[in-house]
Amino acid sequence: MSWRLIGCSVVVAILAADLPLARTGNKKFDYLFGATLGTTVLQAIRFLLLVRPLEEYRHEADKVPAYQLPFIQRYFWLFKMTNSPRGIGWSFKSSLIPVDPRHRTRASFIASRLQWLFSHYLLLEAATLYTRCNPVFLSEASVTSQGYVLQCLNVAAIPCQLYALLTCVHCTLAVLAVGANLDEPQAWPQPFGHWKNAYTVRKFWGKTWHQMSRHVSARISKPKEREPWGVTYRRLCYAFMCSAFMHVCGDVLLQFRIWDDFSSTSTSGTTAVPNIIGYSAPYFILQPVGVLVEDAIIEVGKRMGLKESTWTRMVGYVWVWVFTSYSLVFSMDALKNAAQAGYLTGEGAGARATLIEMVADRVFGVQLAAVMSSWLSRM
């Protein structure tokens, strides 16, 4: 145990030392990279302290336990295992991972993933165009300042970018792996679940949103069967605390960028440097509260004789949307304003034109960015 603790400490120290040095020049990618480093910290704790992968885990293709493999094969076994966050083909695979039974052949799978790649790339471009043209994302105005309808669009824009980006990357890798005959189509289920399941906050996180970090947080929170409800909610809080930690690491990386920018541009020590560390946490800390509230309401409904139906699901969709649209506001405002100050060159009017803009300009002769900026500035 002592050597494992030392090894884990060394890995965490290396990752912490990498945070101040990691730069991409793009605030969204910087944030994602910081969150990835935070996820890696939790993975180090999981694999070096909480489990013994060589003894406890097995791949479906394993013929002997991994600890009996030669060193080189064991190395690649561990590499593949640590790069399988959802456990596809492994003994720790989650039963909640979406399964798409429609794909019978490689050709049909590749065709479907190319369709997804194209549609989600358009979604990514649309969300990017919206954030680039909306003055809320280029100033210190709150995302709530344009009324509730645009507030919903404002808080959804950046998560939509993340959703579309992860889907595009996943589809690209899936097409390459399946097309090169390295994997079977079954090894690449969709990265996100079905949106029809997101009628409660619990189901949104458990079945719809991506499961890339599910095993990290679940293992650290030590789930057990037939737990008392108090233990279950405490474990749920631990899981969301892990999610908050991952995203706060993104805050930290942005904070180093802000410090660098202010130290290089400020000529006096009187300039107030915005603090961004911890602003991602409130959203994730609020999620167990939302789950507790909805569980209480569902229990009251059951005792009143209500059964799940289309109407109860419709109410659930509205509840999840309203809860998310308000719980995201504080973190979104704080991160947006601090990041805008830290990336002085910005990604506003000088950013590259999106595919949607180029099509609108060349086909219809419409300067879409100018039209959207003009309309949104009046809201």
Q: Compare 317 and 3 and report the one with higher pLDDT.
A: 317
Flag whether pLDDT at 222 surpasses 60: no
CA distances from 342 to 134, 187, 212, 300 (A): 19, 40, 29, 48
Q: Please give the C-alpha separations between residue 87 and each of 57, 59, 103, 293, in angstroms, as whole numbers.
A: 10, 9, 20, 31
The percent of residues above 90 in pLDDT, for the chain, comes to 42
Average pLDDT over the chain, rounded to an integer = 85
DSSP annotation string for 97-148: S---TT--SHHHHHHHHHHHHHHHHHHHHHHHHHHHH-GGGGSS--TTTT-H
The per-residue pLDDT for range 128-184, each reduced to its tens digit, is 999 889 999 888 889 999 999 999 999 999 899 989 999 999 999 999 999 999 888
| Dist. CA 218–CA 238, nearest whole Å | 8
* pLDDT tens sequence across 313-329: 999 999 999 999 999 99
Whether 224 shows a pLDDT value over 60: the answer reads no
Residue pair 38/277 in contact (Cβ under 8 Å)? The answer is: no
Average pLDDT, integer, range 189-199:
89
| Window from 29-38, 220-229, 243-252, 260-269 with minimum mean pLDDT | 220-229
pLDDT for 357: 87
Mean pLDDT calculated for residue range 328-338: 84
Q: Which residues contact 29 (CB under 8 A, 6 or more apart)?
A: none
Indicate whether 190 pLDDT > 80: yes
Half-sphere exposure of 289 (CA within 13 A, CB side): 8
Beta bridge partners of 90: 59
- Res. 205: pLDDT tops 50: yes
Q: What are 40-56's pLDDT values in tens digits?
A: 999 999 889 888 999 99
